[in-house]
């Protein structure tokens, strides 16, 4: 059966990419063929004439098969701003059917596709639609990455509420320890668990450098 997960987070910079790649390694270790996708990316460098986003590159490089960059990341914008602004600045609009076409290509040769969103759940992608609409359209269960830092209990609760209101299936959340010296880390994680019915899929420890194989060992889906 073809499967996938849509990875969102409580904010930008919470560890969606690190968790997405760790999830890819988790499934690869289980013997599955896995692809990563970043449908929309804002913030990119021009390399040999084409725009390249670092998240998309990492997802491309960690897949179990070779896919061209354009398949992994159909929409790349140079400006590191909200994608609806970045798209408008260059006169482009984001078309979900192009994203779905690319997803179908990945699904044809991989059993699992890990799709990284942009920023948090309510980020706009156009004048009247956003990440939540894209995730709903793609139809995969959603995983929420929560950066364990001051404010995370509130941010996690707000994101879970928004997912519930949108009627999407939430497969779980990942506690990502982005701060080495976070006070009361465990209590924060316990509080988020206690106040929600969303399963905790793993606690990723603070790591100076990403060792995605090692991080994958902290996950259980």
Of residues 118 and 168, the one with the C-beta less far from ligand ATP: 118
Q: Of the candidates 25, 24, 22, 59, which has an alpha carbon nearest to the alpha carbon of residue 40? A: 59
Catalytic residue among 38, 89, 136, 209: 38
Q: Taking the complex as a whole, how short is the minimal distance between the CB of residue 116 and Mg ion, in angstroms?
A: 6
Binding region for Mg ion (CB under 5 A) = 16-17, 55
Q: Of the candidates 113, 177, 190, which has an alpha carbon nearest to the alpha carbon of residue 145? A: 177
- The item of Mg ion, ligand ATP, none sharing an interface with residue 64, based on CB under 5 to 8 Å by kind, is none
Using alpha carbons, list the distances in angstroms from residue 158 to 1, 6, 72, 178, 208. 32, 18, 29, 20, 29
* Strand 112-116 with 3-9, pairing: parallel
Please confirm, yes or no, whether 38 is among the known catalytic residues: yes
Binding region for ligand ATP (CB under 6 A) = 9, 12-18, 55, 119, 176-178, 204, 206-207
- The item of ligand ATP, Mg ion, none sharing an interface with residue 144, based on CB under 5 to 8 Å by kind, is none
Q: Taking the complex as a whole, how short is the minimal distance between the CB of residue 116 and ligand ATP, in angstroms?
A: 7
Of residues 16 and 25, the one with the C-beta less far from Mg ion: 16
Q: Of the candidates 147, 156, 142, which has an alpha carbon nearest to the alpha carbon of residue 192? A: 156
What backbone torsions phi and psi does residue 172 show, to the nearest 5 degrees?
155, -175
Q: Taking the complex as a whole, how short is the minimal distance between the CB of residue 99 and Mg ion, in angstroms?
A: 17
Catalytic sites, residue numbers: 38
């Amino acid at each position: 059966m073809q499967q996938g997960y849509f990875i969102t987070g409580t904010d930008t910079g919470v560890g969606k990419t690190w968790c997405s790649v760790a999830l890819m390694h988790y499934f690869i270790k289980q013997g599955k063929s896995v692809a990563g996708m970043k449908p929309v990316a804002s913030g990119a460098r021009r390399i040999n004439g084409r725009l390249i986003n670092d998240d998309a590159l990492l997802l491309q490089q960690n897949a179990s098969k070779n896919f061209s960059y354009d398949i992994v990341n159909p929409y790349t914008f140079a400006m590191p701003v909200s994608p609806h602004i970045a798209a408008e600045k260059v006169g482009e609009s984001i078309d979900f059917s192009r994203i779905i076409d690319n997803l179908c290509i990945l699904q044809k040769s991989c059993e699992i596709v890990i799709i990284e969103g942009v920023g948090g759940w309510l980020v706009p992608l156009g004048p009247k639609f956003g990440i939540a609409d894209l995730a709903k359209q793609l139809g995969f269960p959603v995983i929420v990455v929560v950066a364990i830092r001051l404010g995370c209990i509130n941010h996690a609760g707000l994101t879970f509420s928004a997912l519930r209101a949108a009627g999407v299936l939430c497969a779980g959340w990942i506690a990502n320890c982005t701060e080495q010296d976070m006070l009361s880390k465990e209590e924060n994680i316990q509080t988020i668990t206690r106040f929600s019915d969303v399963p905790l899929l793993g606690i990723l420890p603070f790591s100076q450098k990403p060792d995605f194989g090692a991080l994958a060992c902290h996950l259980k889906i």
